[in-house]
C-alpha cells in the first residue's frame, strides 16, 4: 500500500487541472487520482476541509470534494512605436482574469475515482465557463490505474503539467505556449513503482479539448507516452515548481513523445505531428531548478514539413520562509524555411518574486515579474498566419497573438516587455 499511496499523491488532480494529487498535483499523479483518496477515507460519515483536497464529505469509501482556484493579474505592456503607432499607443495596460476554476472530485467505492473541473478566463474562454477535466479512474491494482475521459496529455512535465496554483511565475513560459498539447479526450494508463513511472494514452490528439468525434480539430489516431526515473526524494515533490525551506532533496529525469495523424477519415485535418521532450528537475532545501528540451515535426498536406525546437530553464530560491525569487529563460527556434520571421531564434527572459502570505502554503500567493522579449516578438504573432496552420498544431491561431496570458502582444523591434502583477487564491 505504500507504493499505492505514493501513486495517489502524485496522480490525483488538484485545485487546477494537472495530473496530480487530489490537491492539484502534477499530471503524472492525476492518472492515479483515486488511490490517495482510498487510503485517506478511513472514517465513515465525516465532513470538513482537508488541505490539498478542499471541502468534502466522506462516507466510508465514497467521497465528494469541492476545491477551486482564482488568479487575478494586472499587466503593463510596452512596445515600440512601430508596432503600436500613435501617442502612447505603445503602452497597453489593464486587469486580466487569469483563471477561475471550480473542481469536483472524489471516489465511488474502493476502485473508482472521478474529477470534473470547470474554468473561466479572459485569454482563452473569454470569461465563459468551460469544461477542462472530466474523467474517471479505475485502480486495477496497487501499481496500475486506468483513466478515461478528458485530461491533460502527459508531455510537458517541466511546465504545463505543474498545476496552475503551483507554477513559478505569474504565467508559464513562451515555449510552453507554443508546444503544449493541452487537453484531449481518450483513455490512459499509469504504472509506477518506487523509482519508475510509465504512462501511455490513446487520444484525439493535440489541443482537441471539448471536441465532438466528427470535429476537424481531432486526429484520426494519436498516441502519447512518458517515462520518468526518480533518483531522489518522493514523486509528489515535483508537483510544485517551488521548493519550500526544509524540503528534502528530490530529482528526476523524464521523456515523452506524442504522435498523431489525420486526414484519412471524415472531416479531420490532414496533418501529421510528432512532439517530443526530455526534461528534468532537482530541488532541495529552499531552492529548485527545472529544465526541458522540446521539439516538434509538423507535416501538413500540400505543404513542407517543418521542425521547431524549444528550451526552457527555470529556477527559484527562498530568501526567507515566505519570499521566493525566480527567473526563467525560454528559447524558441523556428524553422525559417517555413516561417517568414526576422529572428528565427526567439529569446525571452523572466525575472520576478512571489510572497507566500501563509508560510509553506500555496493558499494565498502574491506574484510580480517582468517578461522581456530579447528578439522581435511580432514574429511570433505572425508565425501562425499565412502558413495554413490551424489551432490544432504548434504555432497555430491560438498562439501568442490570440493567447494574451503571457502579457506579450508582439513587437517589430526588440525589447518588448510586460510587467505582470498577480494574486492567487487556492482552496
Residue range 117-160, pLDDT digits in tens: 999 987 777 788 899 999 999 999 989 999 999 999 999 987 88
Q: What mean pLDDT is reported for the chain?
A: 82
Predicted TM-score (pTM) of this structure: 0.84
Q: Which of 384, 299, 301, 309 has the alpha carbon at shortest distance from 346?
A: 309
Among 180-184, 196-200, 357-361, 416-420, where is mean pLDDT lowest? 180-184
Q: 52-79 pLDDT, tens per residue?
A: 788 999 988 899 999 999 999 999 999 8
Q: At what angle do helices 2-11 and 33-40 cross, to 10 degrees?
A: 120
Among 82-91, 106-115, 220-229, 271-280, where is mean pLDDT lowest? 82-91
Decide: helix, strand or coil at residue 67. Answer: strand
Phi, psi of 289 (to 5 degrees): -145, 130
Residue 184 has pLDDT above 80, yes or no: yes
- Runs of H (alpha helix) within 219-352: none
Phi-psi region of 205 (alpha: psi -120 to 50; beta: other; left: phi over 0): left
CA-to-CA separations, 411 to 90, 174, 220, 341, 375, in angstroms, rounded: 10, 15, 37, 12, 9
- Runs of H (alpha helix) within 204-339: none
Burial class (CB in 10 A: 0-12, 13-18, 19+), 276: middle
Give how far the C-alpha of residue 252 lies from the chain's centroid of Cα atoms, to the nearest Å: 18
- Identify the DSSP state of 249: P
CA-to-CA separations, 280 to 264, 293, 312, in angstroms, rounded: 37, 9, 11
* 397-401 own/partner pairs: CB under 8 Å, 24+ apart: 398/124, 398/207, 399/177, 399/178, 400/174, 400/177, 400/178
Residue 391 has pLDDT above 60, yes or no: no
* 274-277 own/partner pairs: CB under 8 Å, 24+ apart: 275/155, 275/179, 275/181, 275/206, 275/394, 277/155, 277/156, 277/157, 277/158, 277/179
pLDDT greater at residue 142 or residue 83: 142
Q: Which fold has domain 2-426?
A: Porin (2.40.160)
What span, in angstroms and rounded, lies between the C-alpha atoms of 350 and 71?
Answer: 19
Other Cβ atoms less than 10 A from the Cβ of 270: the count is: 14
**Beta-bridge partner residues of 232:** 251
Other Cβ atoms less than 10 A from the Cβ of 138: the count is: 14
What span, in angstroms and rounded, lies between the C-alpha atoms of 232 and 236?
Answer: 11
Task: Check the CA dihedral 18-11-152-50 and report its sign.
Answer: negative
Residue range 329-352: average pLDDT?
Answer: 83
How many residues comprise the chain? 427
Q: Which of 210, 239, 258 has the alpha carbon at shortest distance from 19?
A: 239
pLDDT greater at residue 100 or residue 405: 100
Residue range 346-372: average pLDDT?
Answer: 95
Residue 423 has pLDDT above 90, yes or no: yes
Greatest Cα pair distance in the chain: 66
pLDDT tier at 418, thresholds 50, 70, 90: very high
- Runs of H (alpha helix) within 17-89: 27-30, 33-40
Strands annotated E in 216-336: 221-232, 250-261, 271-284, 287-300, 306-318, 323-333
pLDDT tier at 230, thresholds 50, 70, 90: very high
Q: pLDDT > 90: what percent of the chain? A: 52
Amino acid at each position: 500500500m505504500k507504493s499505492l499511496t505514493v501513486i495517489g499523491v502524485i496522480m490525483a488532480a488538484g485545485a487546477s487541472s494537472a495530473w496530480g494529487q487530489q490537491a492539484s498535483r502534477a499530471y503524472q499523479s492525476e492518472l492515479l487520482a483515486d488511490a490517495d483518496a482510498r487510503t485517506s477515507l478511513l472514517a465513515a460519515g465525516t465532513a470538513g476541509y482537508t488541505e490539498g483536497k478542499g471541502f468534502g464529505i466522506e462516507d466510508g469509501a465514497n467521497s465528494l470534494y469541492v476545491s477551486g482556484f482564482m488568479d487575478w493579474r494586472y499587466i503593463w505592456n510596452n512596445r515600440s512605436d512601430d508596432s503600436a503607432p500613435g501617442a502612447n499607443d505603445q503602452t497597453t495596460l489593464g486587469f486580466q482574469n487569469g483563471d477561475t476554476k471550480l473542481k469536483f472530485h472524489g471516489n465511488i467505492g474502493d476502485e473508482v475515482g472521478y474529477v470534473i473541473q470547470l474554468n473561466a478566463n479572459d485569454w482563452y474562454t473569454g470569461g465563459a465557463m468551460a469544461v477542462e477535466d472530466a474523467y474517471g479512474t479505475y485502480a486495477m491494482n496497487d501499481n496500475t490505474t486506468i483513466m478515461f475521459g478528458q485530461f491533460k496529455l502527459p508531455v510537458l512535465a517541466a511546465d504545463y503539467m505543474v498545476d496552475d496554483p503551483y507554477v513559478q511565475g505569474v504565467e508559464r513560459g513562451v515555449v510552453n505556449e507554443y508546444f503544449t498539447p493541452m487537453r484531449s479526450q481518450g483513455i490512459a494508463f499509469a504504472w509506477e513503482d518506487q523509482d519508475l513511472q510509465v504512462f501511455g494514452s490513446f487520444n484525439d490528439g493535440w489541443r482537441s479539448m471539448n471536441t465532438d468525434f466528427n470535429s476537424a480539430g481531432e486526429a484520426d489516431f494519436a498516441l502519447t507516452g512518458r517515462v520518468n526515473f526518480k533518483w531522489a526524494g518522493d514523486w509528489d515533490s515535483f508537483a510544485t515548481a517551488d521548493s519550500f525551506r526544509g524540503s528534502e532533496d528530490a530529482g528526476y529525469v523524464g521523456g515523452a513523445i506524442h504522435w498523431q495523424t489525420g486526414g484519412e477519415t471524415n472531416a479531420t485535418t490532414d496533418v501529421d505531428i510528432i512532439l517530443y521532450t526530455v526534461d528534468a528537475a532537482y530541488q532541495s532545501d529552499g531552492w529548485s531548478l527545472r529544465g526541458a528540451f522540446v521539439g516538434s515535426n509538423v507535416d501538413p498536406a500540400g505543404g513542407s514539413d517543418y521542425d521547431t525546437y524549444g528550451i526552457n530553464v527555470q529556477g527559484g530560491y527562498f530568501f526567507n520562509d515566505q519570499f521566493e525569487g525566480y527567473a526563467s529563460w525560454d528559447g524558441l527556434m523556428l524553422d525559417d524555411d517555413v516561417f517568414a520571421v526576422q529572428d528565427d531564434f526567439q529569446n525571452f527572459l523572466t525575472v520576478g518574486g512571489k510572497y507566500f502570505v501563509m508560510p509553506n502554503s500555496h493558499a494565498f500567493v502574491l506574484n510580480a515579474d517582468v517578461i522581456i522579449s530579447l528578439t522581435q516578438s511580432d514574429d511570433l504573432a505572425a508565425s501562425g498566419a499565412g502558413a495554413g496552420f490551424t489551432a490544432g498544431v504548434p504555432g497555430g491561431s491560438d498562439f501568442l497573438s490570440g493567447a494574451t496570458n503571457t502579457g506579450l502582444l508582439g513587437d517589430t523591434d526588440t525589447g518588448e516587455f510586460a510587467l505582470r502583477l498577480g494574486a492567487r487564491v487556492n482552496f
